[in-house]
Amino acid sequence: MLERTPAHVRPGTRVLVTGAARGIGAALATQLASHGARVAFTGIEPDALEAAASAADSPSYALDVSDRDAVDEVVDRVAADFGGLDVVVANAGIARQLPMTGGDPSVMERMLEVNTLGAYYTARAAARHVAHPGGYLLMTSSLAAAVHLPLLGAYSASKAAIEAVGDTLRIELRPDGARVGVAYFAELDTEMTSRGFDTGAAHALLGSRGTLSGLGSLPQAVDRIERGIARRSRTICAPAWVRPVVPLRHLAQRAVELRGFPNLREALEVARSEDAPWTTPQPDGRPSARHGEHAR
């Protein structure tokens, strides 16, 4: 008789989730805790982080993933507090529109700093703790890593780099028995998505549709993520239609290009002058603030 494929993590699984103050991170960490996992909520928004962790009866740890020393310290502290780690989810990330020409280069810099370097710092610190049979590291990429859209060049670049880091780590950690997964999400119903698409440039580009593919269900996505963690899956995709798009990325990219965006010129002009917010408030004194960016 075949063993039933697990849908939930095992009770007692020791998990660290970055970016757990809101959105996917908070929802995932909360659900894992509800199924008996020991979960460390980490993030940069102290009030939201504490509220999410307290509701799940779990500990919280302040963490800016773009600070390498802080990442090392917090990951080691969680491992000490939990007596080790079984799963680490490098989920923290930000987004903001950026025209490739005429846009503020500090947006690209900050995106790579948080999304790419932050994920790398997390994986680097976590690797020694999950490098055991049963260990699992999940790198949160995006469908944007595979299919690239106007105004999302910086975000796509940062997420494509995460995919590369995850693919490399999968090979490097295999001798220790650990596995590495890469998660690809389309537009999900989160604050990050609503903030990111609620700009003048996005409205000009997409019109009344609001998003390109429509909003996917966050609870369904979290179910898929937990199932992937329980199985230590190589790839996790949400919504389900994302899975065939990732390997067919070249065809999908060509379809996007042929589709065209009738109002693209107008959207680019709006984006070059629009003071759009980050999808996640950034700490004071970071490069975006020093360059006059709106970091709220």
CB count in 10 Å sphere of residue 55: 12
The catalytic position among 61, 121, 136, 155 is: 155
CA distances from residue 41 to 55, 103, 270, 284 in whole angstroms, order as listed: 11, 34, 37, 21
Q: Which amino acid is at 63?
A: L
CA triple 244-162-96, angle to 5 deg: 95
Active site residue 120: no
Which of 168, 96, 177, 171 lies closest to 136, judged by CA?
177
Phi, psi of 90, rounded to the nearest 5 degrees:
-85, 85
CA triple 285-290-292, angle to 5 deg: 125
Dist. CA 71–CA 43, nearest whole Å:
11
Place of tokens 């369904």: 220
Residues with a known catalytic role: 155
